Copies of this chain bind each other. A is one copy, B any other.
Amino acid sequence: MSSSSDLVSGRVAGPLSSAQPRLDHLGIAVHSLGESIPFYRQLGLQLSGCEEIPHEHVRVAMFQVGESRIELLEPTAADSAVGRFLARRGPGLHHVALRVTGLEALRDRLVKGEVRLVGGKIQKGAGGHRYLFVHPESAGGVLLELVEAK
């Protein structure tokens, strides 16, 4: 069964080469969602939702941008990953997330290639998705999240 909305989401996900990574989202650390959202709206982006992720101590505002998202991250605690980032560097790009297939095999290849991972264990997000972080030291100064495509 394939409804028209399936076709649309298939189009966005780019089914022709599902093995190729995609940009899943950019995480941008901000002091205040309320102060930051208007600018992104001015660019013509549509806010697709806001949610709080308690175990990561952030409130997130999500803008769908083509096949990717921009996520504004406001910390709910100073002593959290995003809170410490803000205190140290100020607002800015916090991480880049790539959507990949075969996360386990990819992790094994990276470990073999002496790539430094954060923790090294594949974690499970609130929505059931699986992810892993590559340390900025190994990724050209970028905190890189690898999210498994569903």
Closest 3 CB pairs of A and B: A92-B141, A91-B141, A22-B66
Nearest-CB distance from A106 to chain B (Å)?
Answer: 7
Contacts of A136 in B (CB 8 A): 91-92
Q: Knowing A44-B21, A66-B22, say if A39 contacts B92 (CB, 8 Å).
A: no
The B-contacting residues of A in range 1-59, CB under 8 angstroms, are: 8, 11-12, 14, 16, 19-23, 26, 28-30, 36, 38-39, 42-46
Counting chain B CB atoms within 10 Å of each CB, the highest count among A70, A109, A140 belongs to: A140
A96 touches B (CB below 8 Å): yes
Tell whether, in the assembled complex, residue B67 and residue A30 are in contact, meaning their CB atoms are under 8 Å apart. no
Range class of the A interface residue count: 35 or more
Interface string of A90-124 (1 = CB under 8 A from B): 11110010101000001001100101000000000
Please report the C-alpha to C-alpha distance between residue A42 and residue B134 in the assembled complex, in whole angstroms.
12
| Chain B residue with Cβ nearest A13 | B66
Q: Which residues of B contact A44 (CB under 8 A)?
A: 19-21, 100, 106
**A72 within 8 Å of B (CB atoms):** yes
Q: B93 contacts A21, CB within 8 Å?
A: no
In whole angstroms, what is the CA distance A120 to B89 when docked?
26
Asked if A142 CB lies within 8 Å of chain B CBs, one says yes
